[in-house]
Structure 1
Amino acid sequence: MNYIIVGVLAGAGFLMWIVSIINQMRSDIARININLNKIAKQVGVPNTINDEIKSLLLEGKKIEAIKKYRIATGLGLKESKEYIDSLRK
């Protein structure tokens, strides 16, 4: 019986470890995207993703805009929704 409890606790610990790694990777991706956007702005690369997102918002396609932003940045749903909501203001 004790082996089952130990196994369950080990499995839960492993799952928590995986979740923390995924969260760290999301954070790293967000930081990298910020730096890439700064570099692109200095070099003069147009920010077409924002133009596409703004166009979707003007068409009333908020969910599609959130999906597009998530794909482009690798951010989670919450962060993407917050960004899209900030553009709408």
Structure 2
Amino acid sequence: MSQVPVWRDGLAWSVLSVDYQRILTVLADRARLGQGPLTCREMAASFGMDVVPARVEALRSKAKRLVARGWLAEPAPGRFTPARGVSGPGGGS
């Protein structure tokens, strides 16, 4: 089980496992392009994963953990985006 620290200003993405970094990267790229939140099904497809319930639920579990720790926001049920203040991989805002 990967530990996900509570986000704070200046905390680098490198403290997260590669799976969590990948989620943050795709959501940060979409936010930067003004494309809005993603569902876990959309994330699975963007990662080239089979869009099957087990994969989608694994992503949802990780995304919910990132929400609980302040890295992501869930502006609508099941739709995820970077939390306010969370920026690029180097940390900071």
* Rg comparison, structure with higher value: 1
In the superposition, the TM-score normalised over structure 1's length comes to 0.25
Larger RCO (CA within 8 A; separation ≥ 6) = 2
Q: Which has the higher strand share?
A: 2
In the superposition, the TM-score normalised over structure 2's length comes to 0.24
